[in-house]
Structure 1
Amino acid sequence: MDTIWNYRWLLLQGLGVTVQVTVLAGLLALALGIATGLARRGPPLIAWPVHIYVEVFRGTSALVQLFVLFFVLPGMGLRLDPMTCGVVGLGLCYGAYCSEVVRGALNNFPRAQREAAVALNLTGTQTLTRVVLPQALLVMLPQLGNLMVELLKASSLVSLITLADLTFQARSIMRLTLHTVEAMSVLLVAYFVLAQLISFGARALEARLGGAWRGRTEER
């Protein structure tokens, strides 16, 4: 482990890049997922293009999508830096999966509650923001937490487009020192710890939102 300690700053730099890619791509994926999940319930003129986006990005490889952004777009006159390619590529890919989670939660929302909102003269926007989304979010959170863990693991793909993330740095150390076991062991532990942090955060948020919603319900 002396080798790993000697290269600890390299690994910490890679860890920072991995966290940055995961957070930014996760935020983009959530924003796209919510927007497209809602749009798929709209008129066909909006729903069909969104449906095509979801099917294309769910049905193709995330690695190929990154390669298209990094290697193909420059040939078409649009050059993106590796960080932008990584964030946009993973955000678009996992935004499509997130869209399915949102759509499923909204489709399974109890019809009786929608009818009750209409009876209370709530507008469509009020029904969505005050009734539907708060409860649907509780249903979505476990699946969204799993998606974020998957996104974290997929972030290692950015090492193949020259972005110096944790995987890239571990492979660099492995090539320099030939200490494969140590480098890969640290890599496994790092991803495991990060995944556990995401899962813990999702569970804590679910518990907090659930308690807040129950409190609001009891007050009423």
Structure 2
Amino acid sequence: MSDLNELLPLMMKGTLVTIQIAVISILLAIVMAGVATALRAAPYRAVRWAGNVYVEVFRGTSLLVQLFWLFFVLPLPPFNVQLTPFTVAIVGLGLHYGAYGSEILRGALRSVPGGQYEAALALNMPAAARLRRIVLPQAMINALPPATNLMIELLKGTSLVSLITLSDLTFRARQLDEATFKTAEVFGLTLLIYFVLAQVIVAVMRVFERRVSSHVAIRRTVPRAAS
């Protein structure tokens, strides 16, 4: 077990766990960002208050403490809710970064020029169609760059789940370090893996951003061509 080459499969297994947690947490964060933004824009004060409480609590407290709370406190009375470490990691990361995502989405929606809303209203466009065809495509262009940064932050935040007994990349790196005493090599490789995963997120989001931008450009040119 002292040979680093023999222990590398353990690190690859940890990388797979990290990828699974990151992907599912990103999806949950996207859902929570949308839900929280809708709640905060609701016409009812109580609903807006609930959305604001969610955002401020999860944005204003430590992610590590939130994970510990879900892992150690929820199983105790009066909650008596037992979650697996994997579930705790996904819920904790998704809720935490979903709160930040709500702020990004809210800012992106506000960045859409007011004239766009007025033009849609002048055309008697229904609210759902107005949101789907005019507001969201333009807001997405402004939201995607900061959303990419937030996804990378979430990926790096997955390193904290090793503290709730999950065998992720960071957990496996510590095991390798203790078994081989090759600290520089082990953690150097760990940094490289996190960097590669972050670049994959950047590449995927750039492709998505180009497609959204071209879609919006087509929508803008079609009316001019028709006129």
Paired with 1:4 and 1:219, the residues of 2 have a C-alpha distance of 59
Paired with 2:88 and 2:96, the residues of 1 have a C-alpha distance of 12
Task: Encode CA deviations 1:39-71: one digit per residue, 9 max, x unaligned.
Answer: 211122211111011001000000000000001
- Aligned residues of 1:38 and 1:103 also touching (Cα < 8 A): no
Q: Does 1:115 align with 2:118?
A: yes
Q: Which amino acid is 2:58 matched to? A: F
Paired with 1:141 and 1:215, the residues of 2 have a C-alpha distance of 19
Q: Which runs of 5+ in 2 are unaligned?
A: none
Q: Which amino acid is 2:71 matched to? A: F
Map 1:28-67 onto structure 2 (within 5 A).
28-43=28-43, 44-67=45-68
Q: Does 1:180 align with 2:183?
A: yes
Per-residue deviation, 1:141: 0.4
Task: Encode CA deviations 1:79-106: one digit per residue, 9 max, x unaligned.
Answer: 1000000000000000000000011111
Task: Encode CA deviations 1:87-134: one digit per residue, 9 max, x unaligned.
Answer: 000000000000000111112221111010001111111111111011
Q: Does 1:158 align with 2:164?
A: no
Per-residue deviation, 1:168: 0.4
Select 1:136's aligned residue among 135, 139, 147. 139
Q: Does 1:12 align with 2:12?
A: yes
Select 1:91's aligned residue among 89, 94, 109. 94
Equivalent residue for 2:219? 216
Structure 1 vs Structure 2: percent identity of aligned residues? 47
Paired with 2:76 and 2:35, the residues of 1 have a C-alpha distance of 31
Per-residue deviation, 1:216: 2.5
Per-residue deviation, 1:219: 2.0
- Aligned residues of 2:109 and 2:135 also touching (Cα < 8 A): yes
Paired with 1:200 and 1:92, the residues of 2 have a C-alpha distance of 25
Task: Encode CA deviations 1:146-165: one digit per residue, 9 max, x unaligned.
Answer: 00000000000000000000
User: Mean Cα displacement is larger for which, 49-58 or 204-213?
Assistant: 204-213
Paired with 2:4 and 2:48, the residues of 1 have a C-alpha distance of 51
- Aligned residues of 1:38 and 1:102 also touching (Cα < 8 A): no
The count of residues paired between Structure 1 and Structure 2 equals: 219
- Aligned residues of 2:4 and 2:180 also touching (Cα < 8 A): no
Instruction: Name the SS of the counterpart of 2:188 in structure 1.
Output: helix
Equivalent residue for 2:196? 193
Per-residue deviation, 1:203: 1.3
Paired with 1:140 and 1:37, the residues of 2 have a C-alpha distance of 13
Cα root mean square deviation, aligned:
1.1
Paired with 1:149 and 1:88, the residues of 2 have a C-alpha distance of 17
Q: Does 1:70 align with 2:71?
A: yes
Q: Which runs of 5+ in 1 are unaligned?
A: none
TM-score relative to the length of structure 1: 0.97
- Aligned residues of 2:14 and 2:169 also touching (Cα < 8 A): yes
